[in-house]
Chains A and B, each alone.
Chain A
């Protein structure tokens, strides 16, 4: 079954306290080559039928209206994984 993946990240200009906490533990583990860590969300939306342009348009709309809040987050990627997709990667 095809799955549409939506990726959401905290806005680049905002402090990301969760990413900062992860970066902190990497430092404590001696992993010093990583200068920063940012932490976001990945949504997987599965559909029964093929993923056509109408499905993708609906996902794009939901990504902006429900899955993310434009005040604090950006949708950084929407792409299709799995069989039966009639369209490829889209942003």
Chain B
């Protein structure tokens, strides 16, 4: 099982995503934004960071990168694609996911361990969670406010396409506390919080049992691997 991680100019969490994939039991494959080559991967992660310094709009220039032509084709033919933070912003700019991300309503960058509720466990990336399961993974962004038109919002809610929702505190003014969404097919998921930073005890968020022991993010990656193995 090979999962590609695309590195863009200004990507920051590409190595963390590769590490998460390795810990989850798959082989990470480094992909480059300037090439038209997916190197035969089975799934793709668009990592967090500040591609092109968030110039124009967050994720906008990266969404027009050479490799995105292949990523969009692969996503449309059912390949699992996960966009984390800046990757989520790219997915909305590439029109693979609806809505958009704007500057946090309070105007500040925020970095915290964020509690989420998993509301859709039918996606490729969340099938290993229990429906309604509450998890904690890091969140760190300046432009994480999810917005969409009233019609799009009603469609996302009506079709159960809100994947994760903020619990306890809405950290950025996202409409309906939305932290992540999926496409109709369930193979493309984008979220602002960072599952790849909560995959190994000692390096994750604090839990009730021990400091930095949280590994709730790992299930995003193991879900996709198990789903792909089951359908292989």
Please give the residue numbers on chain A whose beta carbons come within 8 Å of chain B beta carbons, in ascending order: 10, 14-15, 17-18, 20-21, 66-67, 69, 71-73
- 19 A-B residue pairings within 8 Å (CB atoms): A10-B102, A14-B102, A15-B102, A15-B145, A15-B173, A17-B102, A17-B105, A17-B107, A18-B103, A18-B107, A20-B107, A21-B107, A66-B60, A67-B56, A69-B60, A69-B93, A71-B92, A72-B100, A72-B147
Which chain B residues border A69 with CB–CB below 8 Å? 57, 60, 93, 100
Smallest distance from the beta carbon of B179 to chain A beta carbons, Å? 17
Which chain B residues border A67 with CB–CB below 8 Å? 56
Contact A71 B148 (CB under 8 A): yes
Q: Across the two chains, which residue of chain A brings its CB closest to B64?
A: A66
| A67 and B99 alpha carbons, distance in the complex (Å) | 17
Q: Across the two chains, which residue of chain A brings its CB closest to B172?
A: A17
Classify chain B's interface size: 20 to 34
CB within 8 Å of A: which B133-166 residues = 145, 147-149
Which chain B residues border A73 with CB–CB below 8 Å? 57
Please give the residue numbers on chain B whose beta carbons come within 8 Å of chain A beta carbons, in ascending order: 56-57, 60, 64, 92-93, 98-100, 102-107, 145, 147-149, 173
Query: 8 tightest A-B contacts by CB?
Result: A71-B100, A17-B107, A72-B100, A17-B103, A21-B107, A72-B102, A15-B105, A69-B57
Q: Across the two chains, which residue of chain B brings its CB closest to A72?
A: B100
Smallest distance from the beta carbon of A24 to chain B beta carbons, Å? 9
Smallest distance from the beta carbon of B227 to chain A beta carbons, Å? 29
Contact B99 A71 (CB under 8 A): yes
Smallest distance from the beta carbon of B163 to chain A beta carbons, Å? 19
Which chain A residues border B60 with CB–CB below 8 Å? 66, 69
Q: Which of A14, A15, A18, A69 has the most CB of B within 10 A?
A: A69
Smallest distance from the beta carbon of A18 to chain B beta carbons, Å? 6
Smallest distance from the beta carbon of A12 to chain B beta carbons, Å? 13
| A72 and B92 alpha carbons, distance in the complex (Å) | 11
Smallest distance from the beta carbon of B201 to chain A beta carbons, Å? 37
- Indicate which residue in A10, A17, A71, A72 contacts B104 across the interface (CB closer than 8 Å): A17
